Amino acid sequence: MEKFLADTDWQAEERREGVLVEIGCGAGRMTRHFAEMFSSIIALDISEKMIDLARQYNPDLPHVEFRAGNGVDLHPLPDSSADFVISYIVFQHIPLPEVIHGYISEGLRVLKPGGRFRFQARNDHQHMKTNTYAGASMDLDIVEQLARDHGCNVHQITGRGEHYCFVELRRPKASQSV
């Protein structure tokens, strides 16, 4: 959690009203911490087994909905329905860059005006082969293009060229322009 939110202003703020979407929640390890910060959470994972475990380990979080997702996008979540989207140590296990970039596009699609999307992915280009343990790198040029296509800003990138690269994209408030 500290690593994920290092160099951000997220911790300094009060508990937030609004919807947080977590991509790849696993058994809900991070979700439990986010549940203290956010009033409503939709936590998705490709694995039904992980979702079952997350429900089992977190029965005391009525404002968190654990859901199995399809592994490639955020449907049926509507456009502009989330205040925050997060993903940590998930994209680094996805072997296809197009799936990683597709998820990034999806996170942007569901962001409301003023919304923030913070995620971690690999950006070390040395690895030649990928599998579900050592997934693919994202391409930051594509990420920046996706942000522009969705009318969003690149707020922060830390760890360029590294395994643990953190990106925060933000959708301007309705009155601001990109």
Ligand X SMILES: C[S@@+](CC[C@H](N)C(=O)[O-])C[C@H]1O[C@@H](n2cnc3c(N)ncnc32)[C@H](O)[C@@H]1O
Structure tokens at 97: 């860059």
Nearer to ligand X, 93 or 113 (CB): 93
Structure tokens at 38: 């956010």
90-98, 118-126, 143-151, 154-162 -> range binding ligand X (CB under 6 A): 90-98
Is residue 8 at the binding interface for ligand X, with CB under 6 A as the rule? Answer: no
Nearer to ligand X, 73 or 144 (CB): 73
Is residue 122 at the binding interface for ligand X, with CB under 6 A as the rule? Answer: no
Q: Which one of residues 41, 61, 90, 152 is an interface residue with ligand X (CB under 6 A)? A: 90
Is residue 106 at the binding interface for ligand X, with CB under 6 A as the rule? Answer: no
DSSP string covering 22-87: EES-TTTHHHHHHHHHEEEEEEEES-HHHHHHHHHH-TT-TTEEEEE--SS--TTSPTT-EEEEEE
Is residue 71 at the binding interface for ligand X, with CB under 6 A as the rule? Answer: yes
Q: For residue 102, which of 71, 65, 60 has the smallest C-alpha distance?
A: 71
Cβ neighbours of residue 119 under 8 Å, at least 6 residues apart? 23, 85, 86, 87, 88, 90, 91, 104, 107, 166, 167
23-31, 35-43, 57-65, 112-120 -> range binding ligand X (CB under 6 A): 23-31
| Binding pattern for the stretch 26-55 against ligand X, x by CB under 6 A and - elsewhere | x--xx--------------xxx--x-----
Is residue 18 at the binding interface for ligand X, with CB under 6 A as the rule? Answer: no
Longest dimension (CA), the chain: 45
Which positions lie near ligand X, rule CB under 6 A? 23-26, 29-30, 45-47, 50, 69, 71, 88-90, 93-94
